Structure 1
Amino acid sequence: MDKAIKLIETEDGSHSLYVPELDETYHSFHGAYRESIHVFFLYGLDYWFTHHPHQKPIRVFEVGFGTGLNAWLALVWAEQNKVPLLYHTIEPFPVPEEVYTQLNYKNIDQDIRLYQGAFDELHQAEWDKGGAITPYFNMKKDKTTLEKVQLYPTDVVFFDAFAPSKQPELWSKDLLQKVVDAMNPGAVFVTYCAKGQVKRDLAAVGLKVETLPGPPGKKEMVRGVKL
């Protein structure tokens, strides 16, 4: 395993990664799996689809491929709902194979074990190219930064960057504006972060901002809808 990254188990039994250099984890200590479902699906993708049930395919942009958990759950969502999903994700520092092969997400929920093989396929997919992973899930995975990436029209944004205290540049108003400019009218932006400055900046760049109940262990999260 990469010495710069440590595998940890969160409170719901699912794995996350700890980065000593940043003193930061990829997910909440209170449950990586529960956090992802709550923030990005319950209040993100599910919310958008409830309000736009006939608009397909759905276009998702993720900031931070990381462990691949969000992408894999999005693939499962697309297959289970039989809704085509175009998933664009970025990651400048991919997780090494010797690390991602140890992650236990495939064993957390029996209902989604049917899609176990797809988890490794997501990590093994070629960088900077797009293609179908499953019949309903098409992914483009770019090995680049938010500053440099070319964005496409987007319906749902999974903003899963490290915390503003750890990587403040990713939360700058200029980069938030770049993301919002690519969002379609009515598109949804979700993040676990509920800091006041982030909410003010999101409102300033054109989103209607809601403060919502957070996942286990966190009081609040944020959703923005493009006006």
Structure 2
Amino acid sequence: MLKRKIITTADGSNSLHIPEWDEHYHSKHGAIQEARHVFEEMGLNYYAKQESISKINVLEAGFGTGLNALMTLVWATQNTLKVHYKSIEAYPITKNEMEQLNFSSAFGDIEPEFKKLHQAEWDLPIEVHSLFTLEKIHRKFSEINESNWADIIFYDAFGPRVQPKLWEINILKKFYDALTPQGIFVTYCAKGQVRRNLEELGFQVERLAGPPGKREMLRGTKS
């Protein structure tokens, strides 16, 4: 397994760094700032503006540190909306790595909930909160077979520079198929080839302002 080390990003929140790849789990310009901009503001908030929504199904590509799940749990309680959150991860972080992350203090000191996310059994739906059900799926992206389930996809895979196969059409199609009609796909990545792949699959793709340190990000709508 590749070695990982804890780093502190520009907004004071921690992340993990893989020296062999020189790749970070989150933006070095701010892990929490990135999650809030890409996945909360451009994903959850955007989708929730639709009428008559009482529940949102989220499918995340890459559970990683659990930051996006924690942010979504907090968002669900603040907005009184039920969220069923499925997250795919083939290589979970360790208990020691989890204990060194400082995300919970930024969300009102919810350390018990953060630990519960990481301690939740794999491949079973677990009610972490009355408004938030977590289902961690322990497998590779290529092994998923969801169909017409997710309202929102958080695509938070490692970047195309280090894992280009995760951004190819055959993998992205699995996530396209997993979305409901008018469901959305959000990612921090704005590479031209990724955008073209999403458009070829049938997404209506928008280039949006990116989080701190990134000029652009992508959001696709399944038409």
- Shorter-chain TM range is over 0.9
Partner of 1:219 in structure 2? 215
Give the counterpart letter for 1:158 in structure 2.
Answer: F
Partner of 2:42 in structure 1? 43
5+ residue gaps, structure 1: none
Query: How many correspondences in the alignment?
Result: 222
Give the counterpart letter for 1:120 in structure 2.
Answer: K
Partner of 2:162 in structure 1? 166
Runs of 4+ in 1 over 4 A off after TM superposition: none
Cα RMSD, aligned residues only = 1.3
Cα drift, residue 115 of structure 1 = 2.9
Give 3-state SS (helix, strand or coil) of 1:75's partner. Answer: helix
Partner of 2:69 in structure 1? 71
2:114 aligned with 1:119, yes or no? Answer: yes
Q: Aligned to 2:202, which of 203, 206, 212?
A: 206
Cα drift, residue 116 of structure 1 = 2.8
Cα drift, residue 3 of structure 1 = 8.2
Contact 1:76-1:115 within 8 A present in 2 as well: no
Shift in CA distance, 89/129, structure 1 to aligned 2, threshold 3 Å = same
2:130 aligned with 1:132, yes or no? Answer: no
1:27-71, Cα deviation, whole Å (9 max, x unpaired): 1110000000000010011100112x4223200000000000000
Give the counterpart letter for 1:55 in structure 2.
Answer: I
- What is the alpha-carbon distance in structure 2 between the residues aligned to residue 100 and residue 223 of structure 1? 29
Partner of 2:104 in structure 1? 106
2:14 aligned with 1:15, yes or no? Answer: yes
Tell me the TM-score normalised to structure 1 length: 0.95
1:67-120, Cα deviation, whole Å (9 max, x unpaired): 000000001111111100000001111010001111011122xxx325331100
- What is the alpha-carbon distance in structure 2 between the residues aligned to residue 186 and residue 81 of structure 1? 21
Give 3-state SS (helix, strand or coil) of 1:189's partner. Answer: strand
- What is the alpha-carbon distance in structure 2 between the residues aligned to residue 209 and residue 17 of structure 1? 30
- What is the alpha-carbon distance in structure 1 between the residues aligned to residue 109 and residue 90 of structure 2? 30
Contact 1:207-1:225 within 8 A present in 2 as well: yes
Instruction: Give identity over the alignment, percent.
Output: 45
- What is the alpha-carbon distance in structure 2 between the residues aligned to residue 46 and residue 33 of structure 1? 16
5+ residue gaps, structure 2: none
